[in-house]
Amino acid sequence: MPVTAKLSLKFYEKLGEDVTNELVEWFNQVDATYRADLRELNELNFARFDAKLEQRIAEVKAEVRQVEASLQEEVGERFRSLETRMEVGFASLRADMVKWLFGMWVTLLGAMVALTKLG
C-alpha cells in the first residue's frame, strides 16, 4: 500500500506544480523501490532462516534417534540381566524344594517303617 507524499505549499509556490508533482512522484517511486527491495531481502532472510531451522531440526531428530537407540540397548541389557538372575534364582529355588521334598519323603518313610514295626 503506497503512501503518497505531499509537500508543503511553499514547494508549489517556489518550484511550480509540475516540478513539485514530479518530485512527489520520484519520492513515491523511490519508496516503492525500497519497499520491494526490503520485501525481497526479508524473503531471502526468511528462506535462510527456514533452511537453518530445517537443518537444526534434522540434527536434533538424529540425536534423539541416537539416544533412543542407546536407551533401547541399555534397557535390553538390563532386561536380559534381570532375566538371567531370575533363572538362577528359580533354579536355586527348585533345588531347595527338591531337598525339602526329599527330606520330608525320607522322614515320612522312616515314620511309616517305625509304625509298622511297632504295630
Which tens digit of pLDDT belongs to each residue from 60-119?
A: 999 999 999 999 999 999 999 999 999 999 999 999 999 999 999 999 999 999 999 886
Classified as helix, coil or strand, 2 is coil
Q: What residue type is 27 in one-letter code?
A: F
pLDDT averaged over every residue in the chain: 90
pTM across the whole model = 0.53
From residue 109, give the alpha-carbon distance in Å to each of 61, 72, 95, 98, 113: 70, 54, 21, 16, 6
Q: What is the pLDDT of residue 6?
A: 61
pLDDT digits (tens, 9 = 90+) for 14-64: 888 888 888 888 888 999 999 999 999 999 999 999 999 999 999 999 999
Residue pointed to by grid coordinates 517511486 = 29
Q: Which residues contact 27 (CB under 8 A, 6 or more apart)?
A: 5
CA distance 101 to 93: 12
Is residue 23 within 8 A of residue 7, CB to CB? The reply is yes
Question: Could you tell me what percent of the chain has a pLDDT over 70?
Answer: 93
Query: What local confidence, expressed as pLDDT, does residue 76 receive?
Result: 95
H or E element in which residue 110 lies: helix 17-118
Any idea how long the chain is? Answer: 119
The three cell numbers of residue 88 are 538362577
